[in-house]
Structure formats: C-alpha cells, structure tokens
C-alpha cells in the first residue's frame, strides 16, 4: 500500500466529541460507502498503525547472516 497517502492524515488528540452511536452509525456507514475500496484500506491501515504504534518506514525484519564452513574435499 502506498504510504504517501498516509502522510496526508493528521490526528488531533485534543478534539473529541461524545455522541449517540445509533446516530453516528448511519452517517459513518454512508460516508464509508461513498469511498472506494482503496481509500477504505488506506484508512484502515492508518488506524492500525495508530493502534499498534507501527511505523512501516522504521520497522523491518531482522536479518541474520551466518557463515557456514563447508567440509574440505
């Protein structure tokens, strides 16, 4: 997935609103149904990165190198 799109998202930790979940469900569902599947996946990936403090640019698989001695012939 293209991480350049994720750079456009900003999360404001100081702004929250409390509303009824039944009212918001209809508005949220309508909003997300208007988005194409790619935009939904980008938003989902962004939420996953926030939830698990995951940064794909810095998190890498650990590489292990081992030098094996071949038997003499």
Q: What is the pLDDT of residues 9-25, one digit of tens each?
A: 666 667 767 667 676 67
Q: Any idea what DSSP says for residue 35?
A: S
**C-alpha to C-alpha distances, 28 to 23, 31, 63, nearest whole angstrom:** 9, 5, 42
Which pLDDT does position 35 carry in this prediction?
93
* CA-based nearest residue to 45, from 54, 36, 58: 54
Q: What is the pLDDT of residues 22-64, one digit of tens each?
A: 766 788 888 889 999 999 999 998 888 888 777 777 666 667 7
**Domain spans, the chain:** 1-73
Which pLDDT does position 24 carry in this prediction?
67
């Amino acid at each position: 997935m293209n991480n350049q799109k994720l750079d456009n998202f900003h999360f404001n930790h100081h702004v929250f609103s409390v509303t009824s979940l039944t009212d918001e469900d209809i508005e949220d569902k309508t909003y997300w149904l208007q988005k194409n599947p790619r935009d939904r996946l980008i938003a989902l990936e962004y939420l996953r990165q926030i939830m698990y403090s995951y940064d794909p640019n810095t998190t890498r698989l650990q590489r292990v190198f081992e030098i094996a001695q071949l038997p003499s012939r």
